[in-house]
Amino acid sequence: MIKTGIIGGAGYTAGELLRLLINHPDVEIKWVNSASNAGNAVADVHQGLIGETDLRFTSETPLDEIDLLFCCTPHGDTRKFMESHEIPEDLRIVDLSTDYRIEDGTHDFVYGLPELNRKRIVRGAKHVANPGCFATAIQLALLPLAKNLLLNSDIHVTAITGSTGAGVKPSATSHFSWRNNNVSIYKPFTHQHLAEIRQSLSSLQSSFNADINFIPMRGCFARGIMAVVYLDCPVSLEEVRKLYEDYYSDHNFTFVTDKAPDLKDVVNTNKCIIHLDKIDGKLLITSVIDNLVKGASGQAVHNMNLLFGLHERVGLQLKPSAF
């Protein structure tokens, strides 16, 4: 059994991670850290886990008891934790924050998008930086083009996310009375996920220097991301579709479909569904994921499976909640 610990255990991603780990056949959850909830039952905070676990939050982080640490901390806190604790040499870490996603030579974290870096994760990685949710949906829409050196014009992206993407801490834009029956844009052209998207695309296509014009949107639903991407493409739709099918043929969670997908096709799953269309020389790509699963906790479990030599789908064969 893989013995795991979680820091930052009270948030949405940690709650989703716990749901997945409790039902994973090869995992034992040793402890869940949350300083603000120490001593409280995990199921009192994550009420969907009532009847599923007797775990209680702890303020301690006994790293010598575990094989793998999941970091579900706010951005900036994982780096602080790493710097202030003695990390066992053989401890695997999956970080769900932004802290180590940019591979700048100052750390040994591997960027944890399996559809891009599966071999690097399997072949000796110890520390994995889980991708961002928007970054996951957008990269999966574009990786096959980068692989085939076809990203040679500006890229336009509009992507809408559910309210859970903002985290559990309330804010002016996450209150029900504001979010319900409402749609808004935020951080146009400046979203923090752009850096990791550009890093990945450049790793496949070294000549890539096009603009990525990204408009993120807040949706009036709880979970899911739909990213709609378009760009100039000289290749026929049939040829492009074959490039995508070939790229994802040996990956377990990304699928190309003939029918434009709905969010409900992927909510509560670790899947990404991609649809392709071509109109007047423009390639239109639609990519849908669950921001909490494929965009966060499910991808973290996927990375854990790779780190420990398990089949990718173990613990992640989930039913979409279509209605």
Q: Is position 314 within any domain?
A: no
Mean of per-residue pLDDT scores for the chain: 95
**Average pLDDT over every residue of 47-62:** 96
Q: What is the pLDDT of residue 170?
A: 67
CATH number of 70's domain: 3.40.50.720
Confidence of residue 165 (pLDDT cuts 50, 70, 90): confident
Q: What is the pLDDT of residue 222?
A: 84
Q: What is the total count of domains within the chain? A: 2
Same domain, 286 and 138: yes
Q: What is the pLDDT of residue 177?
A: 74
What's the domain range around 28?
2-131+294-307
Asked whether residue 323 carries a pLDDT value surpassing 90, the answer given is no
Same domain, 188 and 223: yes
How far is 191 from 141, CA to CA, in rounded Å?
A: 17
Amino acid code (one letter) for 181: N
Same domain, 81 and 196: no
Q: Which residues are catalytic?
A: 133
Same domain, 15 and 149: no
Same domain, 117 and 16: yes
Q: Is position 315 within any domain?
A: no
CATH number of 178's domain: 3.30.360.10
What does the buried/exposed string (b/e) look like for 275-312 if buried means 16 or more CB atoms within 10 Å of the residue's CB? bbebeeeebbbbbbbbbbbbbbbbbbbbbbbbbeebeb
What does pTM read for this prediction?
Answer: 0.95
Confidence of residue 137 (pLDDT cuts 50, 70, 90): very high
Of the candidate ranges 39-48, 182-191, 197-206, 267-276, the one whose mean pLDDT is the lowest? 182-191
Same domain, 23 and 89: yes
**Average pLDDT over every residue of 100-107:** 94
Q: What is the pLDDT of residue 168?
A: 65
**Average pLDDT over every residue of 102-122:** 96
Same domain, 109 and 146: no
